[in-house]
Structure 1
Amino acid sequence: MFVRDYMSTSPITINQETPILEALNIMRKNRIRHLPVTERGRLIGVVTERDLLTVSPSPATTLSVFELNYLLSKMVIREVMKKNVITVVPDCTIEEAALLMREHRIGSLPVVEGDRLVGLITQTDILDALIRIFGLRKAGTRMVLEAENRVGTLADILSLVRKHEINVLGLACRDKDNERVQIMLRLSTVEPDSLVEDLNKQGFEVKSVS
């Protein structure tokens, strides 16, 4: 799964001279929290809703509402945008994009080719990708197994699944410790009883079926 498969290919953008109030209105109208800043298609920065709200004067200020609005109307994106933007390319994997967002605590990544903006991927897009990878919107059975952490364990489990002529819609593994591993299977069946029986006979402990 790659970023190009889930990114927005026509993200809403603004320029560096856009007034802050206008940018906030664009975000609220379109229900978005991130706006790439471009100049003739070239990415030069990014701004978030939090950035804009942070620079807004505090409610405790002694300025009047008219004075506040006047000050905000004079401020433009150039004054608050982030210029050192973390970006990805369309061929970046979903896992790498998710890791970048987590490590840098950001909610989106502009997607570029050279210095030109070609898309935007957000946390919501990442979640949509995971939902699709795990087959969560498809009818079937979710099964969690615990097994010995050894070479060939997954192959042996999938061999039994194949024997029962069941398709695997999604799969994930998590090391429980150095000796055991948990495996989640999303299967295209609503009658997994015979498979569960076979798995248990072969020493694969079925922890849950739903």
Structure 2
Amino acid sequence: MNVKNYMTSTVVTVSEDLKVLEALDIMKEHDFHRLPVIRNEKMVGLITEEIIQENSPSTATSLSIHEMNYLLTKTTVGDIMRKQVITIKAEDLLETAAALMLENNVGVLPVVENKDNVIGIITDKDLFRAFIDVMGYNNKGSRIVIDIAKDHSGILEDITTILAEDQVSINQIAVYRQNENTQVVIQMDSANTDEIKEILATEGYTVSSATFKEGK
């Protein structure tokens, strides 16, 4: 899947000269935590709740609440925004977005075209939602986990063939490999988890988990 499939296309942006308190009000109004900063329709930075917090006077200082508020009303988004912003394109894979967020320790990527025209935004929550969709977690049906003692080529073909011969329809399938451990996770329509476990056990496969979910 591509970034465009899960990004938010309606993007709220702000200008550099907007006061920080006004930016916070916009975030609160729209339930956002980050806002791209635009100049002449081009992105020049990013402002987030975290950045604002880092640049706000500490409650441990000798400043009064009035003085703190005064400073915040005078501080503009352009004064504290992050200018070096990691971006991504709408046609890029979701895996690329996840890798960029992880490598750069960020939770959001503005989606751009022509280098700095913002056309969307994608967050770590969007990636979580995509993962849940890909795995079919909210779908009605059975979910089985097969532990593979010794991984080898052709194993997925073998498992899917076994299930197909018994008229079991597969909706999603994923393989997890960590160190020497391999698990195959399959989401399917059938509610007969015991029957599926027996079918696979007969063919020498170990099912470590088999659950059925009604779905949303």
TM over 0.5, yes or no?
Answer: yes
Give the corresponding residue for 1:75.
Answer: 75
Amino acid at match of 1:129: A
Asked whether the 8 Å contact 1:144–1:183 carries over to 2, the reply is yes
Asked whether the 8 Å contact 1:51–1:80 carries over to 2, the reply is yes
Kindly state the Cα deviation for residue 186 of structure 1 after the two structures are TM-superposed: 1.1
State how far apart, in whole Å, the 2-side matches of 1:71 and 1:164 are: 70
Give the corresponding residue for 1:122.
Answer: 123
**CA displacement 1:154-204 (0-9 Å, x = unmatched):** 1100111212222222222112444x5211111111113332212111111
Give the corresponding residue for 1:154.
Answer: 156
Alignment of structure 1 residues 36-51 onto 2, 5 Å:
36-51=36-51
Amino acid at match of 1:127: F
Give the corresponding residue for 1:192.
Answer: 193
Give the corresponding residue for 2:27.
Answer: 27
With the length of structure 1 as denominator, give the TM-score of the two structures: 0.94
Give the corresponding residue for 1:9.
Answer: 9
With the length of structure 2 as denominator, give the TM-score of the two structures: 0.92
State how far apart, in whole Å, the 2-side matches of 1:208 and 1:169 are: 17
State how far apart, in whole Å, the 2-side matches of 1:52 and 1:80 are: 7
**Unaligned segments of structure 2, at least 5 residues:** 212-216
Worse-matched range after superposition: 113-122 or 157-166: 157-166
Give the corresponding residue for 1:58.
Answer: 58
Kindly state the Cα deviation for residue 109 of structure 1 after the two structures are TM-superposed: 0.4
User: Secondary structure of 1:67's match?
Assistant: helix
State how far apart, in whole Å, the 1-side matches of 2:14 and 2:100 are: 24
User: Secondary structure of 1:174's match?
Assistant: strand
User: Secondary structure of 1:84's match?
Assistant: coil
Give the corresponding residue for 1:95.
Answer: 95
State how far apart, in whole Å, the 2-side matches of 1:119 and 1:41 are: 13
**CA displacement 1:71-129 (0-9 Å, x = unmatched):** 11110011111111100000111111111111111111000011200100011111111
Kindly state the Cα deviation for residue 207 of structure 1 after the two structures are TM-superposed: 0.8
Task: Report the aligned-residue RMSD.
Answer: 1.3
State how far apart, in whole Å, the 2-side matches of 1:100 and 1:26 are: 27
User: Secondary structure of 1:203's match?
Assistant: coil
User: Secondary structure of 2:50's match?
Assistant: helix
State how far apart, in whole Å, the 2-side matches of 1:90 and 1:60 are: 43
Asked whether the 8 Å contact 1:160–1:195 carries over to 2, the reply is no
Amino acid at match of 2:31: R
Q: Kindly tell me the number of residue pairs found equivalent between the two proteins.
A: 209
Amino acid at match of 1:120: I
**CA displacement 1:124-146 (0-9 Å, x = unmatched):** 11111111101111101110001
**Unaligned segments of structure 1, at least 5 residues:** none
Worse-matched range after superposition: 35-44 or 14-23: 35-44
Q: Percent identity?
A: 33
Give the corresponding residue for 1:139.
Answer: 140
